[in-house]
Amino acid sequence: MIKKISEEYFSDITRKLKELQTLYDLYKITSSTLNLNELLNLIMELTLNAVEAEVGLILLYGKGTEKNYPKVTWGLTKEIIDGIIYKDKIRLIDWLNKKSKPLVIKNLDKNKNFKYSARKNIFVKSLLFAPLCTKNRKIGAIILANKSLPNGVTNFTQDDLHIFQTISGQISVAIENSQLYEEVVEIKNFSLGIINSINIGVITTSLDKKITTFNKKAEFIFNIHEEDVIGKPVKILFDNLEKGKKNVILEALDRSENLLNLEAELRFPNGETKILSLSTSNLKGGEDKIIGYIISVDDISERKMLENQILRSEQLAALGELSAGIAHEIKNPLTSIKGFTQLLSSKLDDKNFLLKYADVIHREVDRLNNIIEELLQFAKPKVKGFARVNLKEILDRALALLKYQIEKADINIVLNLLPIPDVYGDAQQIEQVFINIILNAIQAMKHGGKLEIESKVIVKKSPENIYYEYSVLYFTDTGKGIKPEHIDKLFNPFFTTKPKGSGLGLSISHRIVTEHKGTIEVISKVGKGTTFIISIPTVNNY
């Protein structure tokens, strides 16, 4: 009796030691690799040795299905298992898949509940089966066949089942972790594939602004390899940018602000230059938390070259129009003066003739002088001594100067002026712009009307592709409007639809506003009226 108890005790101790050793070996395996195929083969080798099985098979479910696919076949195939039928109705594998716990089947060849559909299946004498399950789902199964002992025993024991049951849960967790890792790697590789395929440079950084991703296009643009910049501060990429632009980018990153299409020239030590368009945005993770930054870079050198060629062509065309306009404007008074001089020798005694044409010459000379004055104003150099000025105060002065013309033309002025920030500029030049715009409105309303002037503060992208705060004035008249085909020519020198206009007033206004880093826009509808929109950056941008 004592001997029997001792044998059972030592047998139990031996089994537990074997379980612990198997669990330890399994832990070492799962810690050594995350590659799924390698892990499955190591698990199969360990499991076969743990229960001294002859052959084995690991099946995994396909994504989104409950169909098992063989992943590891060590002497045992799915076709062999499929060839074993349970109770003449169902395949063994389908019957096993309904089981939620490990089980052992002994003496399979002698059990009347099971039949072999082909001779090749007969070698399967006993089975160990365990479903591979995680918390949320079944991910597959592991099947072992035939005990492999020197004495010819083929049946698995309850101890084998116990060991199998102990490790099956750990196997399931290890396989799921490996699958998740492979999914992450697949998603990462897919994302990197997309990033490397797109035709703009993409750079990502950590929160401390160290480079984490540097795609193929970025390598080409900056002429530097990925391995030379990964882990380094992103500011090293912008050391050779034109003065001031590097700080604009780094400050946008420091403030976690989006920067859109900043144009900057990049100079290389060999003398090569590229014109880049740079944008920044925040890289966000879970719960919309900022985990880094994205910088996109596009080489627009070729596009800018084409734009400059087009601009030069337009400038030459504009110069031609300007020359034609000057010739036309000067030719008319000169023709009048020439006609008088041709008649002068024969009319020296005619006092009425002399008085009449002396007045004509005086008017024509004044006309020539006005044209020259306006041309000088148009070509006037930029004013550098800007000061802080208030647009409402300048507008009040312009309206006061034009009070007589406004009343004479029966124009009703409606002011909707909200407080707006000051701007930096030349008050006299800005006043000239307002006068030109108001005079245009008066001339557009020959039979009286209404001129509404409104103020706003807006944020929009500047011509340099940087977002600025602007003080904006809207001048809306109820005049005859401007034809669509004339809108694009409105600011061209000498373009005018007025019989006595020089066509320089709006050109001068456009130049002045541009020198103030502002914009002047026109919205018009024939028969309804016109709106001129003057936008100038506020002092808050400086």
500 pLDDT more than 60: no
477 pLDDT more than 90: yes
Predicted confidence at residue 12, as pLDDT, reads 64
pLDDT digits (tens, 9 = 90+) for 106-153: 988 888 888 888 777 778 888 999 888 887 788 888 999 988 877 677
Angle at 308 between CA 305 and CA 309, to 5 degrees: 90
Predicted confidence at residue 360, as pLDDT, reads 67
Could you give the percent of the chain with pLDDT greater than 90? 12
Predicted confidence at residue 329, as pLDDT, reads 59
Yes or no: domain 199-299 corresponds to CATH 3.30.450.20: yes
3-state secondary structure 397-426: HHHHHCHHHHHHCCEEEEEECCCCCCEEEC
Q: What is the distance between the alpha carbons of residues 341 and 435, in angstroms, rounded to a whole number?
A: 38
Q: What is the distance between the alpha carbons of residues 236 and 252, in angstroms, rounded to a whole number?
A: 16
Residues of the chain with CATH 3.30.450.40: 2-184
Residues of the chain with CATH 3.30.450.20: 199-299
**Tokens 């009070």 sit on residue:** 403
Predicted confidence at residue 34, as pLDDT, reads 76
542 pLDDT more than 50: yes
Which DSSP string do the residues of 196-242 spell out, in sequence order?
A: HHSSSEEEEEETT-BEEEE-HHHHHHHT--GGGTTTSBGGGGGTTBP
Residues of the chain with CATH 3.30.565.10: 387-541
The two structure tokens encoding residue 138: 């079944």
pLDDT digits (tens, 9 = 90+) for 53-83: 889 999 888 766 666 677 888 888 888 888 8
Reduced to 3 DSSP states, what percent helix, strand and coil does the chain have, rounded to the nearest 5?
Answer: 45, 25, 25
Predicted confidence at residue 381, as pLDDT, reads 47
CATH architecture of the domain with residue range 2-184:
2-Layer Sandwich (3.30)
> pTM to 2 decimals?
0.43
Reference 268, options 291, 247, 296, 239; nearest CA is 239
More confident position, 500 or 425: 425
Q: What is the distance between the alpha carbons of residues 529 and 379, in angstroms, rounded to a whole number?
A: 30
As a whole number, mean pLDDT of residues 244-248 equals 83
Q: Binning pLDDT at 50, 70 and 90, where does residue 89 land?
A: confident
219 pLDDT more than 70: yes
24 pLDDT more than 60: yes
Predicted confidence at residue 476, as pLDDT, reads 93
8 A C-beta contact, residue 451 and residue 438 = yes
pLDDT digits (tens, 9 = 90+) for 320-362: 555 555 565 566 666 666 666 766 666 666 667 667 667 767 7
8 A C-beta contact, residue 234 and residue 203 = yes
Yes or no: domain 387-541 corresponds to CATH 3.40.50.1360: no
Yes or no: domain 305-378 corresponds to CATH 3.40.50.2000: no
